[in-house]
Amino acid sequence: METDQLVAFRDLNPVAPTHLLVIPKKHIASLAALEPEDQALMGEIMLAIKELAQQEGLDDGFRVVANTGPDGGQSVHHLHFHLLGGRSLQWPPG
């Protein structure tokens, strides 16, 4: 999926049967760097994630992750969201 504002594609190292990355084209370092003017962009991203989850058949649920900062596991300093699904993601497992 690609729009004027974002791009989405499958992760090269998936951690779930469905693992997509959703990335704004505007450079934003992380969720912590969001500004009020990014509100519409964030809404578009969330609606795109909903649409992608429907397209992927994730009717039983999915998880959306945005790692933020070093303690949050962020290794790429450009805001992006992981859409995960296709199996139970309950925590703790079992």
Set 19, 77, 78, 80: catalytic member: 80
Q: How far is CA 46 from the centre of its chain?
A: 8
By CB atoms closer than 10 A (0-12, 13-18, 19+), residue 53 is buried
Question: Does residue 80 carry a catalytic annotation?
Answer: yes
Catalytic residue numbers read: 80
